[in-house]
Structure 1
Amino acid sequence: MNTKTLFPLVCAVTLVSAASIDANDQYAPIQPFLNRYCVDCHGGAKQKGEVRLDDFVKIDGALWSDIYDQIHDASMPPEDARQPSMKERASIAKLVLQISRDESFSIPTGYRRLNRREFRNTVRDLLGLKPGIYDPADRVFNDDVDDGFDTNADELVISNELLLEYLESAEHSLRMALFLEDLTPVVTRVVEFKPGSLQSGDQRFTTNKKNSTVLRGSGQYFATQGPRKVAIAGNYRITVKAAGVDRDNYGRMKFPPANGPIRMGIGTRLDSEGKKSTSNLAKSFDLKDEEFEEYSVVVWLEKGAYPWVGFLNGAGKPASSVRQAIRQRKVDPKEIDPKNYKGPGVEVTRLSVEGPLDPEWPPATYRTVFQTDAMPDFENAEVRVSLVDRFLTRAFRRPATEQDVKDYLEYLNRQHQKSSDWHEAFIKTFAAVMASHDFLYIKEEIGPLPPFELASRLSYFLWSTMPDAELFQLAKSGRILNADVYSAQVERMLRDPKTDEFVRGFATQWLSLDLLGTMPPDIKDRRYSAYLKRGYEAAFRDETLQFFRYVLFENQPVGDFLNSDYTFINDTLADVYDLPIDGDSTLKRVSLPKDSVRGGLLGHGSILALTSNGVETLPVTRGHWILDELLGTPPPAPPEEVPALVPDLNGVDTPRDQLVRHRQDPACFECHKQMDPLGLALENFDVIGRYRTKYDAGPVVDPSGEMFGTRFKDVTELRQILRSREDQFARNLIVKLAEYAKGRRLNRRDLELVNQVAAKSGKDEYRFKLMLRHLLMSNLMRDR
C-alpha cells in the first residue's frame, strides 16, 4: 500500500516576526535593558540555561513570555547582581508584555496526532471492542515524549514505520471486531477439556491422575488438546471443578501456602503473532480442603482467547522449596523430587467454557462498525455508500465530505477486485481510513472552535477518546456552542466512569508517576526486601491516584495536594507508613494525626520513591520536583561545565554537607539556593518513603531550612508554608491542565485567561471540581 496516498504529513511552526519587532520603535528601550542587566549571563560569551538575549530579533514568542515572567516577578536578575529600579522594571515589563500580545504564537490551523492512549481508546470505541486482554495499541510504538505531556503536538511526530504500525494495528483490530468466517447466526456452545490436557511451564510438578490433574506449581495451566481458543468474541462462562489437596502430606514440614487457604485463579490468555502473549486474572477463589466444588466466572473473551487455571499462592519455584526442605530436615531427596513431590496443590476434575452467552445478532461489534441493527447487504451498492459514509463520519469525528466518500468507495472497489470478498474489502478499506491523517490527527482551527472540534477537545481532554453519540449529535446540530448545553455536557462527562482516563493520563504525567519502577531499590538488601514482595510500588501509585480522584470528585480545595489531614492507605501502605489500619488490600480514607508527616503529596511513597534512585535519596531532584510540579517555577538547566554531584556512598558526608560545598560554585548558587532547602526538608524519608530520623551511617537527619523568607524545622512546617501559597499552586495546576488539554505550551494571551480562571476559582476556595469547570467553560478550552 502506498502510504503517501493515505497520510500527508502536516507540520506548522510559527515564531515571532523578528522584522515586525525590529521595525517598531516603541520597543527600542528593551535591548539596552537586556544588555545592561541580562547579557552578562545570557549573551554571546555565556548562555546560562541555554538562554541567549543579546540578539533581540532572534528571541521567539515562548522566550518573550518567560522574559516577562522573570522581570515582572523580580526573579531576575539574581539578588547579587545589579538591579533595575522599580520604575524601570515596570516600564520594560509592560513593553515585553505588549510584544507577547502582539506577536507570540499566532498559531495557524493546528494538527495534533493521537497519542498511544488516545489511539487505543478511539479504536475500541470506533469498533465496539471492549477493554480486555486485547490492546489495539499493542502493535504501535510508545510515544517518545521528552517535553511536557503526551498530548504535546510538537512531540507527537510521525514516520513511515509508525504509519505502517498504525495500518497493521487497524487491520488486526478490524479482524477482531469483524470476526465471523461466515455470516450465519451465532449459537452458544459448551467445550470441556480433559483434565490430563492441562499443561504449563512447570509441568514437572503436575500430577496427572485418571480423572483429574493436580497443579502443584504456581504457573498458568491451560488446555493443549481440543479447540481451546474461542472462535467468536463475546461473554463466556468459564467453570472449574476443583479442591485444595495434599496440604499435610509432609506432616509438620509445610510448603506454600502453609496454613493459609489454597487459592485458585481463573484467567484468560491471548496469543498475538510475533508478540508476547498477554493474560489477565479474571477471579480468584479460596478452595475447600479435599472437598470438590464448581467455581465459575463470566468474562469477555476476544476471538482467539482461551482460559487458564492456576495455583495462585503456591510455591513460585517448587524446586527451590524442595531443596530448602532437604537442607532444613533430613528427608530422602527421592521422596520429594519433582517426580514424587506431593506437596499442596489444586486438583482439577473439570474445566469448561460456555458461550458466547446470549449471543446477539448481528454481533455488537458489527452493529458498532456498520451502525446498523441488521447484517448489511454488501452486494447492494447504495448500502455500501451508506456504510462508508457512516464509518468515515465517526472515524474522522466530523461529517464526511462527498470527496471523502468517493475516494474510499473507489478504494473499496479496488480491494473487492483483488479479493472478490466484500467482507475482506471492507476490512482493508476501513484499515486505510484508520491509518489516514483525518483519523490519526485532531484538527483545530484558529480562534473559537467549531462544533465538531469543540466536541473532540472536550472528549479527548476528559475521556482520551472520540466523542460519544450524544456529543456528536450536539455538534451536528450546533447546540454544543450554547453555553448551557455545553455546561450540561461537562457535568455529564465528569460523572462518566471514562473520566478515569483523565485521572490516569493527567495525574500520572503531572506528578511523574510514570517514573515509578524505573529505579527500584535492591530487593536483595534486607531493608527493601518487602518492596517487591508486598507490592509497594503498585500501592504507592494507587494511593496517589485515589487521592487525586478524591480531591477532584469530592470537590476538595486543591491545597489538599500541599497539606492535608487525610490520605488513602491499605494494609501494605500502613506497614510502610507505620499507621494503624484495620483492613486489607483495599484503599481506605484515613484521618491523619495532627503531627503526621504524611499529609499531602509530599508524604506519599510514590513521590518520595520516584525522586530517589533506589540507592540514595536525591534532595536536588526532590527540590526541583516541588518547584516545577507544585509551584510552576522550575530552575534552569545547570551549565554544562558544572560537574554532577557525586554521592558519598560511605556516609561520611550527609547530603546537606555535599550541597553546601556544591553551592560554593557561583554558577550553582542561585538555583540550589531555591532547590536544596526544599529537598533537604524531605530527608527524613528514605528511598522508598519510610520515615527515619538518622542516616544509615549514623548522623541525625536535619530537615530544617528556609522558604520564601520563612524558616521551617521539618516537612510538617514546610507543608504549612506551601499551603499558604495555594494561589500560586492553583494557578500552576490550571496551566498544567490547559497545556494537557490544548496540546501545546501556553502563550501570553492564554496566561491572561489562566489568571481569570484562577480568580474565579479563588472565590470558590480553589475547590478542584469547580476549578476544572471554570477552566472548561473558559475560552482557554473553547478556543484554539
Structure 2
Amino acid sequence: MTRLYATGASLGVLLALAGHVRDPVVVPWDGLHPFLLPAAATSDAPDIPHEVLTGVVRQYCVRCHNDQALRGNLSLEAFEVEEVAERAETGEKMINKLRAGMMPPPGARRPSSDTLLALVETLEGIIDEASARDPDPGFRTFQRLNRTEYANAIEDLLGLKVDAGQWLPLDSYLAHFDNMAVAQTLSATLLDAYLNAANEVSRLALGEPNAAETSATYRVSVYESQHAWERVEGAPFGTRGGMVKDHYFPADGEYVFRFSFWAGDKARYEDLDISIDGERVALLELEVLHIDADLGPNWIMETEPISIHAGHRRVAAAFIEKVAGPYDDILQPHESSLAGTRAAVGYGVTLLPHLRDMTIVGPRDPRGVSEASTRGRIFTCRPTSPDDAQPCAEKIISRLATEAYRRPLSDRELEDIMSSFYDGFAETDGFEVGVRTALEAILASPHFVFRIEPEPAGVQPGESYRVSDLALASRLSFFLWASPPDNELVQEATSGRLADPRVLEAQVTRMLQSPKAEALATRFAAQWLRLQDLDLVRPDAFWFPDFTEQLANNMRRETELFFHNLVKEDRSIMELYAGEYTFLNQRLAEHYGIEGLVGDHFRRVEYPEAMQRRGLLGHGSILMLTSVGTRTSPVLRGKWVMEVLMNTPPPPPP
C-alpha cells in the first residue's frame, strides 16, 4: 500500500496563510518539522516489539482516547498493535495523525521520534500484510456517465460538442469529486433525462431539415474586461471585447443575431463585427449608443437575416479595435473595464461600450441540411439501391454501437438495434431517419449510459475477483481521460493482453502522453484542489478594481498546467509544495510582478530568486479560493491545507 505524506514543505507554506491575495509571502522551509515523520520509503526506524509499542499507545494516547473522555470519538483502551489489522480503519486514522505530527498534540508529552516512527511503520506493515493476504477491494455499485463523461463520450463517438447540462441534472459530489459511484443515484427523472439527451443528440448529429425556429442567448460576465486592448481568444485580430461561442445551427436557413450592450453611453462610431468560423458575415455600425444610468441596456441591435449552413459553428461578436494602446485619460483606468463605471461618465474618462449578450434566432425558412463533419463520421457508406440499405446500415450501426458500448457487439445486440433502424426506415421510407432512430437507441442503451461490469460466472457473494480486461480499460480511460477507451486500448483488452503488467504499463504511459490526459489536471486535480470554488469567490470591486474574469481564468489555467506538467514529466510530488517554477502568460506575470513576458500563451517560468512564491500556495487560484471577497482568511487557508494537502481535516468547531 503506497502512502503519500505531508512533509516540512507543508509547514513552510502554512506560514503564508496571512499573505495578501495579490502578493502572498511564502517562507521556504528547510528540513523536516520536528513533529513530522518522514515517509516510510526513506526512514530507518528501530525494531521495537509489538507489546512495547502497545505500551507506548497506553502511556501517551489512552489518557485522552479512553472510554470516558472519547476525544475525537475514539477509544484506544483495548487497542493492541499486533491486532491492528482487525481495526484497520482506526489504524489508518492513527497513521495519518502520526505522520502529520498532530498526535500526540503539541505541548503534550510525547515519545522520541524514533519510537513514533517505529510505531507508525509497524502499524502500516501489519495492515499492509493483512491486506495482501486477504485483499478486500470492497464492492462497486453501478456507475453512470456524469455530465463531463457524457459530453466527452458524445464528442469521441460523433465529433459533436454538446453541453450535457442542457439535459442531465447536476452531478452528485462526494469529497468534492463528481465521479464517485457510491454518490450517484438513479431515479425516473434521471432516466428521462438520459432518454431526452439521446433524442436530442441524435437530432443534432444528423441535423433537422425542418427545424423549428428557436433562440439561444449567450451572456458576457460583468467581470470580463472589454478594454480597447482586450481581445477575446478566437475573435478576429484587430477586435476588442465581445464574445466567442460555439453554436449549433440545426438546419440550413436564415438566422438573425440580436445584441444588447453595457456602458459606453453616448459612445459614437463603434462597429460590431460578427463572424462565423473566422469569416465576417455582418458589421453593425453603432453611430450613437444610449444606455440607462443603471447600466441596463435600452439599445438593442440586430442583423439582417443571414444565410448559414447547418452544423457546429464558432460565432464571434467583437468590436472593431479603434485604439491601439492604453488610454491617455485624466483618470488612470483599472484593469476591470467596468470598475467605477457609475462615476466614469464625465470629461477625461474613456468608457467604451461593452457587449452584454447575444441572441441567435432561427432558422427562418429552413432549407434542409448540408453535409457537416458529424454527418460524415456517421455515414461511412451510402446505399446506392434499396438492396444496399441493410448492409450499409449494419456497417454504420455496428461501428457506432461498438464504440458507444466500449466493447465488441454481439449478434443479438446488433439485431435489436437494427430493429430500431427498420422502424424508422419503414415509418418514413428514409435511410437517414432509420439511422437516426438506431443512433437514438444506442445512446439510450444502458450499455452506453452505464459503466456495466458483469461478474465472472461462478463467483460467490462476498468473493473477490479480478475485473475483466474490458472493465479495466474503461476504468483506466475514464480516470485518465474522463472519456471512453480508444480503439487501441479496447483491442488490447479484447485480446486479453491488458492484464499483463508490461502491456498495462505501456498503455498507461501512452495514455499519459495523449492530449486527453490533460483531464487529470482539468478534472481530477481541479476537483481535488477545489478549483471549482473559484466561481464562488469574487473579490470586491472597490478594494480590487483590477480583478477581471480573464485574470481568474488565467489563475485556474496556471494551476492546471502546473499539475499536468508534474504528471507528464513524472516529476517529484514535492514540487506541489515547493516547486520553484510555474506557468504564466503576460497578464498573470504582470499581476505577480514578473517582467519580460509578452503574449497570451502560457510558458514555464522560473520564479526570480527574490520572489518567495513556491508550489501551489504561490498560485493565485489557491490564494483566491481560500479568501473572502474583501480580504484573505487564515482560517480558510489553514483548513484548506489540512484537508486538501495533508488529508487531516481539523475537528469541527465547538
Bin for the TM-score computed over the shorter chain: 0.5 to 0.7
Q: 1:124 maps to what in 2?
A: 155
CA distance in 2, matches of 1:323, 1:70: 55
Q: 2:590 maps to what in 1?
A: 575
User: Deviations along 1:389-446, whole A, 9 cap, x unmatched?
Assistant: 4433222111233443454455666667777766445544533432343222334566
Q: Are the counterparts in 2 of residues 144 and 155 from structure 1 also a CA contact under 8 Å?
A: yes
CA distance in 2, matches of 1:172, 1:368: 18
CA distance in 2, matches of 1:33, 1:635: 22
AA of the residue aligned to 2:202: L
Deviation of the 1:116 alpha carbon: 1.8
Q: 1:755 maps to what in 2?
A: none
Q: 1:607 maps to what in 2?
A: 622
**Superposed CA RMSD:** 5.5
CA distance in 2, matches of 1:161, 1:103: 41
Q: 2:473 maps to what in 1?
A: 455
Q: Are the counterparts in 2 of residues 62 and 104 from structure 1 also a CA contact under 8 Å?
A: no
Which SS does the other structure have where 1:177 is aligned?
helix
Which SS does the other structure have where 2:181 is aligned?
coil
CA distance in 2, matches of 1:475, 1:373: 28
User: Deviations along 1:712-770, whole A, 9 cap, x unmatched?
Assistant: xxxxxxxxxxxxxxxxxxxxxxxxxxxxxxxxxxxxxxxxxxxxxxxxxxxxxxxxxxx
Matched, 1:175 2:203: yes
AA of the residue aligned to 1:634: N
Matched, 1:634 2:647: yes
Q: Are the counterparts in 2 of residues 230 and 306 from structure 1 also a CA contact under 8 Å?
A: no
Q: Are the counterparts in 2 of residues 627 and 635 from structure 1 also a CA contact under 8 Å?
A: yes
Q: 1:701 maps to what in 2?
A: none
CA distance in 1, matches of 2:119, 2:353: 83
- Distance 1:147-1:424 versus aligned 2 partners, 3 A rule: same
Q: Are the counterparts in 2 of residues 120 and 137 from structure 1 also a CA contact under 8 Å?
A: no
Q: 1:441 maps to what in 2?
A: 450
AA of the residue aligned to 1:311: F
Deviation of the 1:366 alpha carbon: 3.9
Q: Are the counterparts in 2 of residues 30 and 95 from structure 1 also a CA contact under 8 Å?
A: no
User: Deviations along 1:236-271, whole A, 9 cap, x unmatched?
Assistant: xx9x9xxxxxxxxxxxx998799xxx7855456xxx
Deviation of the 1:383 alpha carbon: 5.4
More helix by share: 1
Matched, 1:515 2:533: yes
| Structure 2 alignment gaps of length 5 or more | 1-49, 211-216, 221-238, 258-263, 288-307, 324-335, 356-362, 364-368, 456-463
Q: TM-score, normalised by structure 2?
A: 0.61
AA of the residue aligned to 1:127: L
Deviation of the 1:480 alpha carbon: 4.0
Higher RCO (CA-CA < 8 Å; seq separation 6+)? 2
- Distance 1:381-1:514 versus aligned 2 partners, 3 A rule: same
Deviation of the 1:169 alpha carbon: 1.5
Which SS does the other structure have where 2:477 is aligned?
helix
Identity across aligned pairs (percent)?
28
- Distance 1:254-1:484 versus aligned 2 partners, 3 A rule: same
Q: 1:530 maps to what in 2?
A: 546
Q: 1:430 maps to what in 2?
A: 439
Greater mean deviation of Cα atoms: 604-613 or 383-392: 383-392
Which SS does the other structure have where 1:154 is aligned?
helix
Matched, 1:404 2:417: no
- Distance 1:543-1:73 versus aligned 2 partners, 3 A rule: closer
Which SS does the other structure have where 2:143 is aligned?
strand
Which SS does the other structure have where 2:451 is aligned?
strand
Matched, 1:156 2:172: no
Which SS does the other structure have where 2:578 is aligned?
coil
AA of the residue aligned to 1:172: E
Q: 1:473 maps to what in 2?
A: 491
Q: TM-score, normalised by structure 1?
A: 0.52
Q: Are the counterparts in 1 of residues 577 and 615 from structure 2 also a CA contact under 8 Å?
A: yes
CA distance in 2, matches of 1:543, 1:559: 18
Q: 1:395 maps to what in 2?
A: 404
Deviation of the 1:552 alpha carbon: 3.9
CA distance in 2, matches of 1:281, 1:40: 72
Q: Are the counterparts in 1 of residues 208 and 250 from structure 2 also a CA contact under 8 Å?
A: no
Q: 1:65 maps to what in 2?
A: 92
- Distance 1:425-1:636 versus aligned 2 partners, 3 A rule: same
Deviation of the 1:375 alpha carbon: 5.1
Identify the match of residue 374 of structure 1 among 364, 382, 390: 382
Deviation of the 1:609 alpha carbon: 0.7
CA distance in 1, matches of 2:156, 2:218: 35
The residue correspondences of 1:313-712 to structure 2 (distance < 5 A) are: 327-328=346-347, 364-369=373-378, 372-374=380-382, 380=389, 387-409=396-418, 423-424=432-433, 426-444=435-453, 447-482=465-500, 485-523=503-541, 525=542, 527-532=543-548, 535-554=550-569, 556-630=571-645, 633-640=646-653, 642=654
| Structure 1 alignment gaps of length 5 or more | 1-26, 183-198, 203-215, 223-227, 241-252, 269-279, 291-299, 330-341, 346-352, 354-358, 643-784
Q: 1:751 maps to what in 2?
A: none
- Distance 1:537-1:304 versus aligned 2 partners, 3 A rule: closer
CA distance in 2, matches of 1:486, 1:603: 36
- Distance 1:55-1:639 versus aligned 2 partners, 3 A rule: farther
Matched, 1:146 2:154: no
Deviation of the 1:605 alpha carbon: 1.0
Q: Are the counterparts in 2 of residues 71 and 93 from structure 1 also a CA contact under 8 Å?
A: no
Greater mean deviation of Cα atoms: 546-555 or 608-617: 546-555
